[in-house]
Structure formats: C-alpha cells, structure tokens
Structure 1
Amino acid sequence: MDLAKFLALLQTNELWFARADTLGDPFEGSLTRPDAVTLAAAVGDNGPANHMRRRAVSNTYVSCWHMNEGESAAMWSLYSASHESVCVRTTFQALASELPDWVHLSEVRYVDYGTTSLETGGLVFQLFLHKRASFAHERELRAFFVDFFGTSEVDPSSDPHGLRLAAVKRPGGAAFKVDLNRLIDGVSINPQAPTWFADTVRRVAEVYGLASPVVQSELLGEALY
C-alpha cells in the first residue's frame, strides 16, 4: 500500500474490505464452464442464476492477503504503484481473532475455469474461494463476507474486546474496527524506497503508537559474495 493508505489505516484503525466487483477480475464469483453447462442442463434458463451471481458479486466484501514464508520481489513489483510503499504483515490467527465468526477466512484455490468443476454444493460463497490459474502467483488468503441484505451495518454485536463487529459500509467497500497492535506483527518498507520515505514511515508509525517493528526490506541489500 502507499503512504496515504497506511496513514488511513493508522488513523482509523479500520481494516478495509473492497467490494468484489471493484477488484478488477471479471471472473470474481463466476462459475466455471463445466458448472455453467451443468446448471444450464438442470434448469434450462441461466437467467435467475446469473442474476443471483451478479448480486452476490456486488454484495461481497473482500480483504486480500499474500501468503508466504518470506518477501516476494514479484509482489512488490506488481502491487506497488511506486517505490514509496509499504506492506503490513499478520498471521492467520491474528486476523481471525480480529474479525467476527461470520467472516470467512480461507486460502484461494487456483483452477482452470475451462475444465474444472468447483463442486460448490450450492454454497455461493465457495465461488469466491476460487480464481483462475493465471493468478496463482498471488498465493492469496482471503477474508470475505456476503451481505445479500445490503444493510449499512452488518451484525452490530460486540466482540470480547468491546469493539463493534459491525462492518460499516462505505462507497466501494466496508470497514471493520480492529486493534492494529494485535493484528499487525510487522511493517516492511519497499526495498527501493528512498531513505527519507523510510524515516517518514517509521515516524508516522511511532506517532500513532504502532508497536510492531517497521523495517526496510533487504531484498536489494548488498550481496555477501
């Protein structure tokens, strides 16, 4: 993320969930070709099913995370609009503990949409746990929920920490209040970022009381041999 988004995260203490139809992949929530053929043979008219799918896509909210044991040079290149960017790290357990039980967390499965049946068993949310094989480099873990009712707040109950579990809707997505010091276990600064930018990120994190370490990536560090 760029500095503006990082600053917004620190200021609001909110984890952003983008609406699925804003993610840029026209296959979000789509059936595969074999599943579409099977559905057409069973019901004859795909119209209602397609309407349901379009409604699900516009009412599904997603937070996307890259899974890896270490940093990925490719992900820095693909998802950083400039060298002045950062990434935040968490664990599956920390992410799950900051979100209500009705938010689904799962790895994305990458398949050939021309030949593979998703075998969803009629569960609409399973459509959002698959992507085309050409996106396999993302190694995505996805947190998401579907809100067919289109309410401004979803499930306004309280969590064990006294924070609201409501997802507050905003244009293009929704946001959950989270405790950043429980969620984030580290911040990495773009390996190509200038020194002034790295220093600024560290100062901003300190001002907002972020306890996690903030370090610049060493992907472009000096070789040892």
Structure 2
Amino acid sequence: MYFDNSNIKLTATNSTIVWKYLDLSKFLDMLISKKLFMSRSDKFEDQYEGTFSEPTFEEIKRLSTNNLGFLDYYKTHREKVVISSWHANAYESFAMWQIFTKNNEGLAIQSTIGRIKEALQTENHYEQYIGEVNYIDYKKDFIPFDDNFFPFLFKRKSFQYEREIRILTDVSNKSISIDNGLKIEVNLSQLIEKIYIHPKSENWYKKLVIELVEKLGFDFKIEISDLESDILI
C-alpha cells in the first residue's frame, strides 16, 4: 500500500506522466504474475547506488566512532531496500528506448503518479513510498539524514537525463531475504494507462505484443510510438 512521507521529496503532481521502458519478457512476467518487480538496491549497474557522497560518509564515520554498528547497518541496509524506477516525461524518450531495450524490441508503459498511487493500494504486505531522485556531486554535496531512504534518492549528476521517480520499499522489519528483488501486488489496469511498442520494431513483433496482451485478458490501449511517425515533406 502507498504511504505519504513528508521527508521524501516529490514535487511531481498526480497528473505527472511517467514511463517504464522494459523488454518483452519482463513485461509478460508482470502480466502473468500481476505483480510489479522491484529490484534490490545494490543490484543496479550503478555501483554508487545506495551509497553516500563523500561529505556524508565522513559524517557517518564520525558518528560511528563510538558505535561501530551504525556504519554496518547502512552497509547491509542496501540488501533490504527494493526499488522500481520510472522516467518522468511528458513525451517518449529516444534515449530511454536506447538504454533500456535491445534489438529494436521492447515496450514502454505510460502511467501517471496518481495512477501509480492508486495501483499500489492492492499491496497489503509491504509499505510503498514514492520519491524523486536528486542528482548531486558525490565529491562535494552532503546528503541529509532525513529518513531510512536518504541514500536511495540521490544519484550522480551524470544520470540527470533519467529524470527518475522511484517506488521504494524497505523490508528491514520483515524476516525475509531478497535475492535480486521483490514482486509486489499491483492493480495493473490502474497502473498502465497506455503501452507503446518500440518505434523500430518489425510488424510481426507489434502483432505479437497485441496478441499476447489480448490472450492474457488485458485490454490496455496500445499506441504506435510517436517516434515512428512518417516524415512529411
């Protein structure tokens, strides 16, 4: 279930459009399981994920001088936080297609912040929070200790193009171990407003996606990518 947290920054409104770019196998897994996959925070490609900026690390070392468990807690905490990443943009992003899909195949789910909040009400086992990522200089900028999610909502400035909105869950209070991630209950009909098929995909692939969605019992609106529009001279 979604919960508000006054310490988590979210300037985006409920009407803000967000996107998730993913390959067909991950999309089908979502439809079949009717669950949203959230990746363990230390499994992202960015090695800085969930770590501290240098000024923050120095402050944490100072605080842990007489409490050695303080620093160890934050090291292991990354294994207990799971994340679902979304891209905030009013339009499709050519860069996101390039980064998150391969071989001219893949899909983009279009939703809004408001739809995500409503869709998460189905989940009763884990508390969900939504926040926007802050892009900082990890050599100079200090990350404030506002809550347990503080290191997971900051990334290096070189990732600013991602314009990332995150769904976050902390399972530290659950007696479970997480391998690569966690699947959570979600109302897919509420979550997914539209589906866009890769702009460079072949016709057979587009037809396959449409048929699979129908056979699995969903009636999502499937759009042709705006990047596929004919050139007018």
**TM-score bucket of the superposed structures, by smaller chain:** 0.7 to 0.9
The answer for the alignment partner of 1:48 in structure 2 is 69
What CA distance in whole angstroms lies between the structure 2 residues aligned with 1:10 and 1:44? 49
Identity %: 27
The answer for the alignment partner of 1:161 in structure 2 is none
RMSD value over aligned CA atoms?
Answer: 1.9
Tell me: higher relative CO, structure 1 or 2? Use CA pairs within 8 A at least 6 residues apart. 2
**Aligned partner letter, 2:157:** A
The answer for the alignment partner of 2:102 in structure 1 is 81
Unpaired segments of 5 or more residues in structure 1? 153-168
Q: Does 1:146 align with 2:170?
A: yes
Q: Deviations over 1:89-122 (max 9, x none)?
A: 111111112225831101111111111111224x
Residue in structure 2 matching 1:130, options 154, 157, 164: 154
**Aligned partner letter, 1:103:** Q
- CA pair 42-2 structure 1, distance change in 2 beyond 3 A: closer
**Aligned partner letter, 2:180:** G
CA contact (8 A) 1:20 1:28 kept: yes
Q: Deviations over 1:52-72 (max 9, x none)?
A: 122110111111111100000
What CA distance in whole angstroms lies between the structure 2 residues aligned with 1:170 and 1:211? 33
What CA distance in whole angstroms lies between the structure 2 residues aligned with 1:223 and 1:45? 66
CA contact (8 A) 2:53 2:138 kept: yes
Any runs of at least 4 consecutive aligned residues in structure 1 with deviations exceeding 6 A, and if so which? none
TM-score by length of 1: 0.85
The answer for the alignment partner of 1:28 in structure 2 is 49
Q: Does 1:187 align with 2:195?
A: yes
Q: Deviations over 1:132-164 (max 9, x none)?
A: 111111111000111113434xxxxxxxxxxxx
What CA distance in whole angstroms lies between the structure 2 residues aligned with 1:182 and 1:64? 17
How much has 1:31 moved relative to structure 2? 1.6
What CA distance in whole angstroms lies between the structure 2 residues aligned with 1:115 and 1:84? 40
The answer for the alignment partner of 1:176 in structure 2 is 184
What CA distance in whole angstroms lies between the structure 2 residues aligned with 1:134 and 1:47? 33
What CA distance in whole angstroms lies between the structure 1 residues aligned with 2:33 and 2:94? 29
What CA distance in whole angstroms lies between the structure 2 residues aligned with 1:64 and 1:50? 26
- CA pair 137-204 structure 1, distance change in 2 beyond 3 A: same
- When the two structures are aligned, how many residues end up with a matched partner? 208
What CA distance in whole angstroms lies between the structure 1 residues aligned with 2:131 and 2:60? 25
**Aligned partner letter, 2:110:** R
What CA distance in whole angstroms lies between the structure 1 residues aligned with 2:34 and 2:63? 47
The answer for the alignment partner of 2:206 in structure 1 is 198
CA contact (8 A) 1:180 1:210 kept: no
